[in-house]
A and B are shown apart, each in its own frame.
Chain A
């Protein structure tokens, strides 16, 4: 099993550009999510999904879109990049059982810089 994979590992964008961060998991997990990590702010939830076709907003969703057409993939789209979106982005997945979240498996992260 590859676990949770993310591409790219590093990306530099100019303000106003758009791009998609890719996330895939091969563990058949129902729950997938995107977090951003900034110094001193911890991990902040952007969007999450409890299954294919179902997505919802987290704490900081503005400027980001997601979709979940398959169980395996959960891409994050930046519509018009801004310097405030410079961050490290982590994708995570887990099983859902009995209404409780199980161990979250995190991808290696994508370090994004917006100039």
Chain B
């Protein structure tokens, strides 16, 4: 079952912050975050594992609440290069399922 992302879209000015949320109805063992720019393939940002371990991006942070089956991606002091569609992916029972994405637009 696809995880649910919110919001669907967000528009920011450079320097503003944003939070993207991801929730699942299933127990989560890991949450992945990816960014995709228009016409390109998704690119890895971060993995959060059950137990609190994080691997990934230096300038973007995330949280993982195992009890609530939720994860949030925090984009601080946004740059023009942050524009794109962000996907969360949840891993359980042998496969990795992605949400529908959140489109982030950063304006000058």
**How far, in Å, is A54 (CB) from chain B's closest CB?**
10
Contact pattern, B 65-108, Cβ under 8 Å of A = 1, otherwise 0 = 00000000000000000000001010100111111110000000
In the complex, chain A residues whose CB is within 8 Å of the CB of B44: 103-105
In the complex, chain A residues whose CB is within 8 Å of the CB of B43: 106
CB atoms of A102 and B47 under 8 A apart: yes
In the complex, chain B residues whose CB is within 8 Å of the CB of A105: 44
**How far, in Å, is A60 (CB) from chain B's closest CB?**
11
The number of residue pairs between A and B whose CB atoms lie closer than 8 Å in the complex comes to 63
Query: B residues bordering A, Cβ < 8 Å?
Result: 2, 29-30, 32, 34, 40-44, 47, 49, 55, 87, 89, 91, 94-101
Known contacts A90-B41, A90-B42, A100-B49; decide if A35 and B98 are in contact (CB<8 Å): yes
Residue of A at shortest CB range from B8? A40
A33 lies within 8 A of chain B by Cβ: yes
* Bound CA–CA A100/B49 (angstroms): 8
User: For window 31-49 of chain A, which residues contact chain B by CB distance below 8 Å?
Assistant: 33, 35, 40-45, 48
Contact of B32 among A104, A108, A109 (CB under 8 A): A104
Contact-size category for A: 20 to 34
Contact of A56 among B34, B47, B87, B94 (CB under 8 A): B94
Contact of A59 among B91, B97, B101 (CB under 8 A): B97
Q: Which 6 A-B pairs have the closest CB atoms?
A: A42-B100, A106-B41, A43-B98, A103-B44, A101-B91, A42-B101
In the complex, chain B residues whose CB is within 8 Å of the CB of A101: 30, 32, 47, 91, 96
Q: List 28 A-B contacts (CB under 8 A).
A: A41-B100, A42-B87, A42-B98, A42-B100, A43-B98, A45-B95, A48-B95, A48-B96, A50-B94, A56-B94, A58-B97, A100-B30, A100-B47, A101-B30, A101-B32, A101-B96, A102-B47, A103-B44, A103-B47, A103-B55, A104-B42, A104-B89, A104-B96, A106-B42, A106-B43, A107-B41, A108-B40, A109-B41
